A and B are shown apart, each in its own frame.
Chain A
Amino acid sequence: MEPSRLGKHVLLRASKKLRFKIGLVIVVVMVAMAILAPYIAPYPDEGLGRVPLDGEGRRLLPPSPQHLLGTDTLGRDLLSRIMFAARAALMQSTIVIALSLVIGLVVGSFAAYFKGFVESVLTYLTELFMAVPSLVIALFIRLATNTPGYHVVIVSLTLTWWAWYARISYVYAKGIVELDYVVLAKLAGLHPLKIVGRHILRVIFQPMAVQAISDLGSALLEASAINFMGLGLPRDYPDWGVILFEGLRELSVIAFIRAPWLVVFPGLFILITTLGFALLADPLREELDPRLSRRWRLWF
């Protein structure tokens, strides 16, 4: 018998796997860190970016009992900064993916369902935007608005990510549009928007959502890249990419030797968070697809 594809059953089966559990732990820890940062960070003010009065003397200290991860270029406790930065990380990736997902789903399913002119225009736009690199857009936005901030990251990433989801939705939706239950809905006189919502979006939402979870990590990577280039969030802001930016700006490549903790730790957190999302999404994807994956593992 075919295993159930209902959301809750998929979740139940996936949750038994080790990868899922590890991923879940990582994500929960990061979320907790983001929420509880003001309460558990050892130097909350410094975490937010304020330079302490005795900062000069505490610059670039290696990890020690007072500063578990060391201090940065202005003497601020790195651990606190990193903890507060979890917030920015999660916010950026979630907003970007959520916006892109919504736009992409709508564009893709409309293109597949309404066909004709609408299809041509939307697919053309999709292909156009897929070719655009986010970093370049970020640069433009930064120069155009002349202020750093969340908007740079969110706008540039959304503009490039939505097309990715639009393309996937389009492919899925095209497969569904020819199926008989859509024909039946049309015959029943259902409003086209209702048909798209009930028969296309609801059906493709599951695989898309799983893809989105995994993409949260990828979005974080790209957002960090933009911030790392100094195009996104401003200096002193709690963000892993920004911390890296400051470190390398101040010390350039010597940072690796002079203050490796400054480079390694933010990077490590980016890596682990991305991994967490990927580990979470993988078992979900496997449970959603036919059980081929399991069989192969049994064989090898």
Chain B
Amino acid sequence: MSSNYAVELKNVTAGYMVARGFRSILKQFVVVLRGVNLRVSHGERVAIIGESGSGKTTLLRVILGLLRPKTGKVIVLGKDIYRVKGRARAGVLKRIGYVPQDPYRSLNPVLKVKDIIKEPLEAYGYSSELIEDRIREVVRLVGLPLNVLDETPEELSGGMRQRVLIARALVAYPKMLLLDEPTSALDVSVQAQIISLLNSIYESFNITMITVTHDLAVAQYLADRVVILKDGQVVEEGEFESILKEPKSEYTRSLVMSYQLLSNMSRSESEESRL
């Protein structure tokens, strides 16, 4: 029962058990995602827009197989990852290139960069020569100098660490990329670099890309279709352009407006002369 989609979520409801009461005896289930339906086709670029508390982190964890949903199905690369087990499941997860959120905390500080990037390849039985070649190839792909391979993450700047994470995500020829706030921790001038890197990767490989972010302006560059998440529910989805021009939900409208408000303010402010 294969699906034509890279990722398919059917009516997913998920949450966490939270301890309440004295000595955490009582546990309560807190719902974070409610009846989420999502479909991402192969080769598509989708952005999941959510503010803090929208459930976007939980959504990511569900897709990565880290959180079993209470109800619903999660089909990633054709397999229901909470039904299949063992090899089949591991096989799917290995094909996902995940780029986590914080480049300052997502890298093992005592490992060298080459060992970090090498890790996804270890599960396959490649020869060390092939591995070396592939690592070098992918490092060049993300625009890093080769000498970075012998350094530890602590010696690298934020932008470089982000590139290492992207390199690692790409090294095992993933079928799709899952990015969690790829630019939020970076300086403005570096954000643009990472955005253009991701764009060029998409242009070269046409790989499915799912970006989770709160920044609509950044998402504009990284996605063609957008899914708006609020309080654990999908409130709107569609092509980026049409969402901007004709937002259907109230929330989307106010979100888009708040960005435009800012640019309006800057324009009107600078038009008034103060001194």
Instruction: Name A residues whose Cβ lies closer than 8 Å to a Cβ of B.
Output: 2, 4-6, 179-181, 183-190, 198-199, 202-203, 206
CB <8 Å contact, A188 and B123: yes
- Chain B residue numbers with a CB within 8 Å of A199 are 108
Tell me the smallest distance from the CB of A274 to a CB of chain B, in Å: 30
Measured CB to CB, the closest approach of chain A to B176, in angstroms, equals 12
Given A5-B154, A180-B100, A180-B102 in contact, is the A187-B108 Cβ separation under 8 Å?
no
Q: Give the CA-CA distance A179 to B105 in the complex, in Å.
A: 7
Query: B98–A190 contact, CB under 8 A?
Result: no
| Cα separation A148 to B113 with both chains bound (whole Å) | 52
Question: Is A206 in contact with B106, judged by CB distance below 8 angstroms?
Answer: no
Q: Are B105 and A188 in contact (CB under 8 A)?
A: no
Which residue of the partner chain B has the closest CB to A178? B105
A190-B64 contact, Cβ under 8 Å, with A6-B110, A180-B102: no
**Chain B residue with Cβ nearest A2:** B154
Q: How many Å lie between the Cα of A5 and that of B154 in the bound state? A: 8
A-side interface mostly:
helix
Task: Identify the closest chain A residue to B90 (Cβ).
Answer: A189
Distance, CA A181 to CA B103, complexed state (A)? 10
CA distance A183 to B168 in the complex (A): 13
Does B46 make an interface contact (CB < 8 A)?
no
Question: Which of under 10, 10 to 19, 20 to 34, or 35 or more describes the interface residues of B?
Answer: 20 to 34
**A185→B98 CA distance, assembly (Å):** 11
Query: What are 22 A-to-B residue pairs whose CB atoms are below 8 Å?
Result: A2-B154, A4-B154, A179-B106, A180-B100, A180-B102, A181-B106, A181-B107, A181-B116, A184-B98, A186-B93, A187-B64, A187-B65, A187-B98, A188-B123, A189-B94, A190-B119, A190-B123, A198-B108, A202-B110, A203-B109, A203-B110, A206-B110
For the complex formed, measure the closest distance between the CB of A127 and the CB atoms of chain B, giving whole angstroms.
Answer: 15
B146 at interface (Cβ–Cβ under 8 A)?
no
Is B192 in the interface zone, CB < 8 Å from A? no
**Max chain A CB contacts within 10 Å: which of B65, B98, B106, B119?**
B119
Nearest CB in chain B to that of A194: its residue: B122
A7 to B222 alpha-carbon distance, docked (Å): 40
Of the candidates A2, A180, A188, which one forms a contact with B94 in the assembled complex, judged by CB atoms under 8 Å apart? Answer: A188
Q: How far is the CB of B261 from chain A (nearest CB, A)?
A: 34
- CB-CB nearest in chain B for A199: B108
Q: Nearest chain-B residue to A185 (Cβ)?
A: B119
- Given A4-B154, A189-B93, A184 contacting B109 (CB threshold 8 A): no
Q: Residue B257 at the A interface, CB < 8 A?
A: no
Q: How far is the CA of A181 from the CA of B105 in the complex (A)?
A: 8
**Closest A-B pairs by Cβ, 4 of them:** A180-B100, A180-B106, A189-B123, A188-B120
Query: Please, which residues of chain A bring their CB within 8 A of the CB of B123?
Result: 188-190
Most-contacted residue by chain B among A179, A183, A189 (CB, 10 A)? A189
